[in-house]
Structure 1
């Protein structure tokens, strides 16, 4: 077993972590010295204490650059310490260029440290006595080579500018290989060219070159030095003003940028051209040119012009300022950064505006981009039912074909291929603003035809142009010219459709047999305004606000004013006869043709004789082959959400219909998601929302999946003029407390046969007992009436063998209603007959719609109610009229269906009030299912004819049955 001492040695470190604690009254210094054996530059950091006189004193505590930078967060300080680390250890090989770059970061001294150099003659090790303070921070300004012509040779003499002094290199010692010492300052030698020259002339006053050697010396040596050092031929005289003018050099010099590949970078080389000589503006090159007589003259460089040229480049990228320290004659950027459209296009434009010629762009490796910015002009003129828009796009001298521009917009691409093979780059902001043009428009020749329904696009262009005195918009890239007639039309549409009360009023049709409420009159005005300007729309008023009567009023208005021909109404099967009844009730002057049923005539030959053709979506699918060839005045789609699936046959079929105008009618334009709107609006206003892919990517996915409020507001602005929706809350002061309507359910042939047989039997009974008001006779009549009501619901309720398989129009209509409404709404279904609820339950199970059922046999009433109220999957609540009519709060429901009318209207009202009560925030629609031509319809008519009496009965809660005589029943049965 290990001893405690052994464990201590194994588990504990031999040395405690040491921490360098800096004297708060001391200072940190930088010491320049040489490595002992390598003789190369060594830079070290020390922390020193101070004497009372402020001088450093021993001991000096050394530290590495890593220790010094450990807790620093300042970027400049980290670069400073990184530079020092390069000189703290002996280098493996001499790299003067790399060292000079590091020294430039050191002499910036962002921390303001004091610099010293160590004199090894005083002591081998660094101590307070071996250090001499020096100033650093500047570089050698200039090195010139002065060339004098002697008898048979040329004399080359160096001249060094250090600070303000002009010195010979022999006068200033080269220290540590990189600095020259002048007075108490160390000046950094800025590049390796100057370094070699200083070393050469450190032991020489001058250099002699013979006349025979001089041409080769100029070509092989001086030409390579003159960009870095100034080569001055003292024997060549300065050009006179006359010489400059004679040589044609008195004007502005040509500014040029040469572009070329540099590995993964692009070299940007700015030069000024003086006659036949090109001078890099970052060089020290002197200019020598022959005059017209062939004599050499020294020409002055355009310092102000070159400085402006350089200043422009330095403003264009922050890296260029940093690269000034590199001593290169060119700038450089990584290829990806250079070819970024937002950079090079903007800067190319600035170069051209400054009169700079650019060469080499198209030769860059892998580059097909056109350097020019797009010059775009838009001119909008008025057409028949559209805006004629001319768009012209030019890159330099290359024009873009309109088809290619449309392709780019549809693909969300900024690139368009030009005739010279390059790719023009469209500004991103322009693509985003103008993409709608190409999704909405049709290309006709050289024009875009934009439907009038897209007037908001032109309005936006007008607004852009208005905000700039020169008519320029979209970052100055697009010139917008819009005709006055177009501006007036756009303003007219926008003002009227943004405020329904601003729409001019029309006369309510004389033949309308009802009084329209104020909001319904406004709805008629809106519909007429749309029709006048050939806009389609969606009438999306809340359920129960009278959408049908507004449309009937429109059709009657069109007839009385001889505006349109035959109109087509497409509706669910269950409401076709409601339309027929409502038209007969409110506009009996309108002639109606029913295109429905197995015996219908499959031809349009009779259509011209009618004002309205009523058909179902199912019939439309069967008959579309001949319906598509008829020109209707209007096509109205009732419950238009039924075409929301653009992949459905219904959508394809209605799109084939021809008409002067189109209108969709629905209380729920959006059931599931934003895309529900697309099919309906693309039917009534083709082109309004672009194609389906565009709408899905730009609006549907961002809004529904990512809750993009900007896109939602944008879509709302676009569709708002063409959707009229009023809620009960907005017009509640004009409405009754709850909305009730009747859904007519015509019987099929077999169901009608059963009903007629039982009705005749009851009629015969009544004929023989006109004066018999005995209780026994009344019970017999009530039993017969109940049988008739059961047949209206479903003949199977009689449980008689002869009626099996005879069908139920009510179940068919109810299921169609539930299928369309249960997606967005919860539904109550009431019936007096539990057996009828059982049949409905069977149908719901077939379709997979979850339901809850409550009858007199239900014991856990509260659990059933809670499930319906709180379970989002439970869409339908089946209730017997007695069990569900009282004591329940079912505010989750917004639709109430009464399968069979009850004799006591008060009981019905109580049933409806299960949903329409305090706490209800949704609109409630109560719908009675009535079989036309039966006792149910006749009882409803009897209610209408005896309103005062029935109102009293409702208030008292008494059943109408108790007040009926045999004569009344005979009247009900049509006897």
Structure 2
């Protein structure tokens, strides 16, 4: 209808001029034919069916056509832009949808490790919270419930984009944080970026990757006292490749292939270029192993073992050294001090120790600051695919998106359904950041036998038993030797040594009637080694007792 003077209305589909009786006369209103024809053409273009309805009293469509391809929302918007008022929308019981089309705007800022994506969505005057939008997208719902009870429809082209954004990023403080390792996602989804610095940054990353042909051979530092095998050289080169691109990586070689040596070679190389200290976090049972490997292969590396009750006294040494070695327990307890230090590299040995995202270990390690990170383990996946998430999230925060999305998109299909397509997709995604060689793959380079010494310290209860027997036999033997001479006392000496060796294995081996407990650091360390380092290999254990 067109509204004329004196509130007179005409139907544009009716050809008659309006007549109004006033007192003794009849007033005829002259219609604006050009305007009405333009109006008819506008309506005819809104829907093909309208163009056929010139001789009806009104335009009409069945409800199925109204909602087909979201026609209603496009038409409502065009009518509003043309200044045409629409009545009775709230009375349409069959239409539960908001007549307002979604308005979406985005903005991008660049941080140190992240792209911060700002998303604003509105239907009419109603602004939608990012949490509500994310919830709908992750449930694969194309509708947002509005405050008036109606549903706002998300445009299909943006629905697909938003799925990728939320899958790749993490929502924090009203923004979506996307790891800079996923710069291809940002480049793909946001064609019109008006921030010159971000455009420049994206172009630089693409150019760098385009130029990359293969991993280069890096020079081994002169002060490495070892002959690295070919696969170990490849591991060292791979770490230097990651360093060039500032990516974290997971060295997942089989147990016994020399992951520590590869890491120490890289640390020594870094120490020649960067003055900041490096941090190695290892299980307590491997502290001695790292010390021995350093003394044997990189004796010039300045290091400190930050462990024990007097560790707080080592603060000055930390500032001077090139490598700090500590345990997961110490990091958890001393995180407030350690998080203040800016490290060059952080190394996690047996990184499956942080597989539980709810653990204090994981949370403490995530708080540490470093230029880059390397994790090492022979068993990156112990129970299920999700074990990988926390380790990768420590190495390259945000790279695998949100934990819930990773579970839904990867972990459940792979572990629950054995989906090989998804498994290959994940493998392809993480392949630049994970290096794994098995003993079978490098068998030709390995010696007939590899010997590793694992050092451990007795805890208080076991040490108390050991000291008691040591003191007892020392006093007894001194008296025996004084009385009978050394030659006649040799069997008693051997008996004392045997007892002490048994206690070192476990006090439970003692044949005495008294119960000395069964605390054994050797058995605990052995069991930990079996659980964490041997994977699915068969094991044969020899013991003297």
Range class of TM-score, shorter chain: 0.7 to 0.9
Q: Residue in 2 aligned with 1:234?
A: none
Encode CA deviations 1:565-604: one digit per residue, 9 max, x unaligned: 2222222222221111112111111233223345544763
Q: Shift of the alpha carbon at 1:553?
A: 1.3
Cα offset, 1:743, TM superposition: 2.3
CA distance in 2, matches of 1:657, 1:383: 18
Equivalent residue, structure 2, for 1:89: none
Please state whether the residue corresponding to 2:454 is helix, strand or coil: strand
Note if contact 2:247-2:372 (Cα within 8 Å) is conserved in structure 1.
yes
Aligned equivalent of 2:86, options 359, 379, 386: 359
Shift of 1:294: 5.8
Question: Using the alignment, how far apart are the partners of 2:390 and 2:533 within structure 1?
Answer: 18
User: Runs of 5+ in structure 1 lacking a partner?
Assistant: 1-253, 256-274, 466-470, 472-477, 766-771, 837-975
Alignment of 1:549 with 2:261, yes or no, is yes
Q: Residues 245-264 of structure 1 correspond to what in structure 2 (within 5 A)?
A: none
> What are the superposed Cα offsets for residues 247-296 of structure 1, whole Å, 9 maximum, x if unpaired?
xxxxxxx99xxxxxxxxxxxxxxxxxxx963245xxxx544579xx9698
- The Cα offsets for residues 17-40 of structure 1, whole Å up to 9 and x where unpaired, read as xxxxxxxxxxxxxxxxxxxxxxxx
**Matched ranges for 1:540-689 at <5 A:** 540-561=252-273, 563-598=274-309, 600-601=311-312, 604-689=315-400
Report the Cα distance in structure 2 between the residues aligned to 1:487 and 1:682, rounded to whole angstroms: 25
Contact 1:577 1:744 (8 Å CA) reproduced:
yes
1:348 maps to 2:75: yes
2:456 matched to 1:727?
Answer: no
Q: 1:519 aligns with which of 218, 231, 235?
A: 231
Length-normalised TM-score, structure 2: 0.73
1:458 is matched with which residue? Answer: 186
Distance change >3 Å, CA 362–CA 756, structure 1 → 2: farther
What is the 5 A alignment of 1:49-60? none
Deviation (angstroms), 1:722? 2.6
| Matched-pair contact (CA < 8 Å) for 1:787–1:798 | yes
How far apart are residue 810 of structure 1 and its match? 1.3
What's the secondary structure of 2:345's corresponding residue? strand
In structure 1, C-alpha distance between the alignment counterparts of 2:395 and 2:239, rounded to whole Å: 13
Find the counterpart in structure 2 of residue 799 from structure 1. Answer: 511
User: Quick one: distance in 1 between partners of 2:407 and 2:363?
Assistant: 18
In 2, the alpha carbon distance for the partners of 1:414 and 1:420 equals 18
1:537 maps to 2:537 = no
Residue 380 of structure 1 and its aligned partner are, at CA, apart by: 5.5
Aligned partner of 2:202 in structure 1 is 486
Match of 2:453 in 1: 742
Structure 1 residues 152-191: aligned runs within 5 Å: none
| Matched residue SS, 1:655 | helix
Structure 1 position 558, deviation (Å): 1.7
Summarize the Cα distance change of 1:479–1:452 in structure 2 as closer, same or farther, 3 Å threshold.
Answer: closer
| Of 689, 696, 709, the match for 2:407 | 696
User: Which residue in 1 is equivalent to 2:484?
Assistant: none
Q: Is the 8 A contact 2:17 2:28 kept in 1?
A: no
* 1:410/1:435 contact within 8 Å kept: no
Alignment of 1:498-509 (within 5 A): 502-509=214-221
Q: Secondary structure at the match of 2:222?
A: coil
Cα deviations by residue, 1:180-227 (Å, 9 ceiling, x for unpaired): xxxxxxxxxxxxxxxxxxxxxxxxxxxxxxxxxxxxxxxxxxxxxxxx
Structure 1 SS opposite 2:352: helix
Q: Quick check: 1:378–1:391 contact (8 Å CA) kept in 2?
A: yes
Higher relative contact order (CA 8 A, sep 6+): 2
Cα pair distance change 1:360/1:444, threshold 3 Å:
same
For 1:466-485, what aligned pairs fall within 5 Å after superposition? 483-485=199-201
1:309 to 37, 44, 55: 44
- Output one character per residue of 1:362-406: Cα deviation in whole Å (capped at 9) or x when no partner: 5344768554544656566765444465656676x86957xx245
Deviation, 1:676, is: 0.9
User: Which structure has the greater CA radius of gyration?
Assistant: 1
Change (3 A) 1:485 1:654: closer
SS at match of 1:502: coil
1:309, CA displacement in angstroms? 2.9
1:510–1:803: structure 2 CA closer, same or farther, 3 Å change rule? farther
Cα 1:815–1:414 shift into 2, 3 Å:
same
**Structure-2 separation of matches of 1:828 and 1:675:** 27
Structure 1 pair 441–361 and aligned structure 2 pair: CA distance change class (3 A): farther
Mark the CA change 1:705 to 1:576 in structure 2 (over 3 Å): closer, same or farther. Answer: same
Change (3 A) 1:373 1:492: farther
5 Å-filtered alignment, 1:182-331, equals 277-280=10-13, 286-288=15-17, 309=44, 312-314=47-49, 330-331=60-61
Question: By how many angstroms is 1:639 displaced?
Answer: 0.9
Q: Distance in 2 between matches of 1:382 and 1:579?
A: 38
Q: 3-state SS of the aligned residue for 1:488?
A: helix
Q: Normalized per residue, which structure has more strand? A: 1
Which structure has the highest helix share of the two? 2
**Aligned equivalent of 1:440, options 144, 160, 169:** 169
For the 8 Å contact 2:43–2:50, the answer to whether it is kept is no
The answer as to 2:143 corresponding to 1:409 is no
- Asked whether the 8 Å contact 2:303–2:322 carries over to 1, the reply is yes
Distance 2:337 2:112 in 1: 29
Give how far 1:683 is off: 2.0
Q: Distance in 1 between matches of 2:349 and 2:247?
A: 18
d(CA) in 2 for partners of 1:315 and 1:743? 85
1:406 and 1:579 map into 2 onto residues whose CA distance is: 46
Match of 2:158 among 422, 430, 449: 430
User: Compared with structure 1, are the counterparts of its residues 779 and 724 closer, same or farther at alpha carbon in structure 2 (3 Å cutoff)?
Assistant: same
Gaps of 5+ in 2: 3-7, 20-26, 482-486
- SS of the residue corresponding to residue 262 of structure 2 reads helix
Q: TM-score, normalised by structure 1?
A: 0.44
